[in-house]
Chains A and B, each alone.
Chain A
Amino acid sequence: MYRRYGVKRRSLVTAVAAGTPAAIVLASCSQGSSSGGQDAGVVTLNGDRADFTDAYELAGAELEKITGYAIEPRNVPSTENYQQVVRSSLQTSSTTDLVKWWNGYRLQDLARSGGLADLSGQWDSAAEKGWVNPETRDSFSYDGKVYGIPMYKSYWVIFYNRLVFDEVGIAAPTTWDEFEDNNAKLRDAGVTPLFATQEAGWTSSIWFAEILSKLDPQFYTDLTAGEAKYTDATAQEAMRIWAGMYAEGYFTAADVAWDSEPSLLASGEVAQVPMGTWRNGTFAEAGLGEGEYSAFLLPPFDPATAPSVIVESGSISVAEKAPNKEAALETMANWLDPAVQRPWVENIKDTSANPQVTTDDPVLETVLEAVSEQEPTELVRYWEASPPALIEGGVQHLGAFMADPTESNIMPTLENLQSLADDEWARWDAGS
C-alpha cells in the first residue's frame, strides 16, 4: 500500500509540475473575450488604450453621421495581452472589424501574415483630399500596399517645466550648446535636468534615438533600416554624447519608475522630459496648469545638420476576416475626415494625422508652430523602425547601458546590438 500511494503522489506532483508552465503558454492561445460578437449598425474596434474609449465614441458619433456606422470600442488593458489577443484572433471570424496597431515594422509583421485588408484605396482617396501627408505612406505599407490608416500623429519633443526654467533664468534652447548650458544651470540649481529610465523596458530607447537622430538623421534612418551598423563611428559618437551627459549628472537614476515621470515634472524635481505628444494630457492631469509647462524640439547636435523630429503614429487596420468588413472599410475611408478628427484629437489631447486639423491646446500649438517653422525631416520612431524582435532585444542592451553608462561599456553594448541586428535581420528577411 505504501508504495502504491507513493507512486500516485509522485505522479500527481509530476503532472502538476509539468503542466503548470505548459498551461501558462497555452493559456495565451485563448482568443479572449474582447473579440467578436456585435450589432450590424456598428463596427467593433479592439485596442489597448482604455483611456481612448470616450474619444472612440465621440469619433464614432461623427462617423455615424457620414457612414451610418458607429464605433463600438473594446479594450484589452495590457499591451502584451492585447498583442496576443490580436495575433490569435485576427485570422478567425471572431476578430473585431478594426484593430488598433502600430505603424512601421510592427504593422508589416501583422500585414504579412495575411490577416489585414488592403487599405490602399482609402489611403489614396484621403491623400487626394489632403487629409494625410503622402510622404508617410511607406510606414503604413507592406509590399507596396497600405494596411493601416494613421490614428494620430505624435511628435517626440522635450516637455519642460516653465516655472523651473523661469526660476533658474533660462529659456527653451534653440541650439545644442544652449541645451547643454541649460542642463548645467539646472543641475547647479539642484534640479535634475532630464528624465531617463530603463524601468519600463522600451523607455531605454528614447535617449538613444533622440541623440542619434539629432547627430545624424540620415544615419538614424539607415541604422534602423539595417543599412548601417551599430558599431559604426556615428553610433559610437552618439553613445559617447549620452555617456558624457550621464557623467555630467544630467539624468535621473536608471530605475526611476516610468509612472512617476509626470509627477516629477509637475513638482519641478525634474525640469525636462523627452516624450511623445500623446502624453500631453497626462502632464495636465498631473497638475501642470496652462502656461506652467511647454515643449520644444530638441535642436540638432551641429547647427549645420538638418533639423529632424521623431514621429509616432498609432494605426487602425481592418481585419481581412472582419465580420462587418464593408462597413469597416467605409469607416476607414472617412476616419481622417476633419469632422471626425476634431473631436477625436481634442479628447486625446494629441495632434491629428490630418494636417488640416488644427488644435487649440497651447502646448501642441507651440509644437506645431516649431514644426512649421523648422520643417524638420520626420523620422519613424525607433520602436516601429526595425523588426519587433530586434527592437525588443535592443532595448534590453540599451537598458543595460543605462545601468552602467560608462565609456568602457559603449563598445560592448554596440557589439551586442550589432550581433542581435545581424540575427534578427536574417530572421526577418527569411520571413519568420
Chain B
Amino acid sequence: MTLLEKPRAEAGEDRPRPRPGLPLSTRDRLSAIPFLIGAVALVGALLLVPFIATVYQSLTRDNGFTSTFIGFENYLNLLENPTFGRSVLNTLMWTVGTLILPVGVGLLIAVLTNSVPGGRWLKYVFVLPYALSGTATAVIWGFILRSDGALNQAIEFFGGEASTSGWLLSWPTNTIVMIVASTWQATGVTVILFMIGLQAIPKEVVQAGELDGASGPRLFWHIILPQLRPVTVVVIGMSIANSLRVFDLIWLLTKGGPGASSETLAVTMYRQTFILSDYGTGAAVAVVLSVIIVGASWFYLRHQLKRG
C-alpha cells in the first residue's frame, strides 16, 4: 500500500483540490451525482436489492407458492440443526485448508521454479489445471477418488490395500480429499501471482542480502518473503473468498453427502432452497454465509490495510 500511495499523493499536488477541513460546496456535491448514478444503480440493482430481499425472505416461511412472516424462526431452527453445525465446521475446514494448501504450495512452486533451470516451463504443469472449470475438475477427481477409481486401482497395483471405506464416503476424509482436489485446481493462480511478486523484487535487495551472508532459507525468510507481502495479501484474500463460496466441486463429487457429511454453507443454502423448496431457510443460510464472508473480508482487509 505504501508504494501505491505515493504516486497518488504526488499526482494530487499538481491539481487544485479543496483544502483539508473545508467541506465541499453543495454545488460540487450535486455535480458529482450524475457520475455516480451508473455505478450506484448497478450495485443497487444487482447486489443491494437482492440482498435486502433475501434478508426479508429469511424471515418468512416460503415454499415457493406462499410466504408467511415468522420472524427469526428459521435462524433458531438452524442453530438446533446438527447438519448446519457440520456445514459450518466443513466451511471452516475449507477456509483453513485453502489458506494453507494453495497459498503454501503456490509459494513453494513459485520459489522453486523461479530458481531452477527450466523452471519457467515446469511451472506451466502446475498452472494448467487453473484453466479447467470447477465442473471439469470435479469430473476428473471423481474418476480418481471413487471406490472403483484410479487412486484405489493404483494402490492395489502397487500391492497396497485400497481404502475400504471409500475416499468420498466418510467424514472428514471426504472433505480433506476435496480440499486437495480444489488445491490442484486453484494453485495455478497463486503460482502466477507469486511469480509476478518474485520478479518484482529488486535484484539489488537480494544481492545486498547475499553480500551480508544470507543464503538458502535465511535469505528466503528474511529478504524475499517480506518483499512478497503485497502479493500475499491479495492471494490470501482471494483464497478466503474462494473457500467460503466453494460449491461446484462438492456438489458434483458428493452432493454434500453421504448424509450431509461433506456439506458446506454454500451447499446447504442450495439444498434448502432448490432441493427442499424451503426458501426461507435457504435465505437464512445465505444471510449467515454473507455475514461470514463480509466479516472475514472486513477483518482481514482492515487488519492488512492498517499494517500497510
Contacts and interface: CB of A to CB of B under 8 A. Distances in A.
A256 interface: yes
Contact of A10 (B148, B278, B301): B301
B36 to A, nearest CB: 11
Task: Please classify how large the interface on chain A is, using the bins under 10, 10 to 19, 20 to 34, 35 or more.
Answer: 35 or more
Contacts of B257: 198, 201, 396, 399-400, 403
Contacts of A91: 65
A245 to B, nearest CB: 17
B269 A88 contact: no
- Interface residue SS majority, chain B: helix
Contacts of A389: 276-278
Contacts of B301: 9-10, 13
Contact of B261 (A23, A114, A400, A432): A400
Interface in A377-432: 388-389, 392-393, 396-397, 399-404, 432
B46 A253 contact: no
Contacts of B46: 19, 23
B283 interface: yes
A304 interface: no
A87 interface: yes
A14 interface: yes
A28 B68 CA distance: 19
Interface string B1-20: 10001001100100000000
A233 interface: no
A396 B259 contact: yes
Contact of B255 (A19, A201, A432): A201
Contact of B274 (A84, A201, A256, A397): A84
A15 B43 contact: yes
Contacts of B255: 199-201
B289 interface: yes
Contacts of A404: 165, 169-170
B47 interface: yes
A405 to B, nearest CB: 11
B133 interface: no
- Interface residue SS majority, chain A: helix
A255 B169 contact: yes
A401 B270 CA distance: 23
Question: Which of A10, A22, A24 is the most central at the interface, judged by chain B CB atoms within 10 Å of its CB?
Answer: A22
B179 to A, nearest CB: 18
B9 A21 contact: no
Interface in B252-308: 254-255, 257-261, 266, 269-270, 273-279, 282-283, 286-287, 289-290, 293-294, 297-298, 301-302, 305
Nearest to B70: A432
Interface stretch (B51-59, B96-104, B111-119, B202-210): B51-59
A18 B65 CA distance: 26
A255 B65 contact: no
21 contacts: A13-B301, A14-B297, A15-B48, A17-B290, A18-B47, A20-B293, A21-B266, A21-B269, A21-B289, A24-B286, A25-B282, A83-B277, A113-B66, A199-B255, A200-B255, A252-B148, A253-B146, A400-B258, A400-B261, A402-B258, A432-B63
> Sorted from nearest, which 10 A-B pairs have the closest CB atoms?
A400-B259, A19-B47, A253-B147, A113-B65, A22-B54, A87-B64, A403-B258, A403-B169, A21-B286, A17-B293
